[in-house]
Amino acid sequence: MTNITTACKRVAVEDISCRFHLTQAWYKKIQSLGLTSAYKDNKWLKFTYGLTFLDPDEVSDCFVDDFISEIPDDPKYREYADYLVDNYIRENANFPPNTWAAFAADLTRTTNNCEYFHSHFTEQFYKSHPNIFTFIEILIKTVQTDVYIKINSCIKNIPNPRKNAQVKARLKKTLEAIYNYKNEKLTRYEFVQIVAFNYNKD
Q: What is the pTM of this model?
A: 0.66
118 found inside a domain: yes
pLDDT of residue 115: 58
152 contact partners, CB below 8 Å, separation of at least 6: 158
Residue 137, domain extent: 14-201
Q: What is the pLDDT of residues 14-64, one digit of tens each?
A: 444 577 788 889 999 999 999 999 988 889 999 999 999 999 999 999 999
pLDDT of residue 133: 84
**HSE, side-chain direction, 13 A CA sphere, residue 202:** 12
2 found inside a domain: no
Runs of H (alpha helix) within 17-159: 19-32, 36-41, 43-47, 56-62, 75-84, 113-122, 132-138, 145-156
Q: How many domains does the chain have?
A: 1
Three-point CA angle 184, 190, 191, nearest 5°? 70
- How many Å apart are CA 54 and CA 103, to the nearest integer? 5
3 found inside a domain: no
Question: Does position 74 have pLDDT exceeding 90, yes or no?
Answer: yes
For residue 102, count CB atoms less than 10 angstroms from its CB and return exposed for 0-12, middle for 13-18, buried for 19 or more: middle
pLDDT of residue 201: 58
5 found inside a domain: no
CB atoms within 10 A of CB 88: 24
| Structure confidence at residue 82 as a pLDDT band (50, 70, 90) | very high
4 found inside a domain: no
Q: Kindly report the backbone phi and psi dihedral angles of residue 120, in degrees, each rounded to the nearest multiple of 5, phi listed first.
A: -80, -35
202 contact partners, CB below 8 Å, separation of at least 6: 39, 40
51 found inside a domain: yes
175 found inside a domain: yes
Rounded to an integer, the average pLDDT of 147-163 is 63
| Structure confidence at residue 136 as a pLDDT band (50, 70, 90) | confident
Q: What does each C-alpha distance from 182 to 17, 60, 154, 175, 185 come to in angstroms?
A: 23, 19, 38, 11, 8
Range with lowest mean pLDDT among 1-10, 31-40, 107-116 = 1-10
| Of 157 and 112, more confident | 157
Gyration radius of the chain's alpha carbons? 19
Mean pLDDT of the residues in the chain: 79
97 found inside a domain: yes
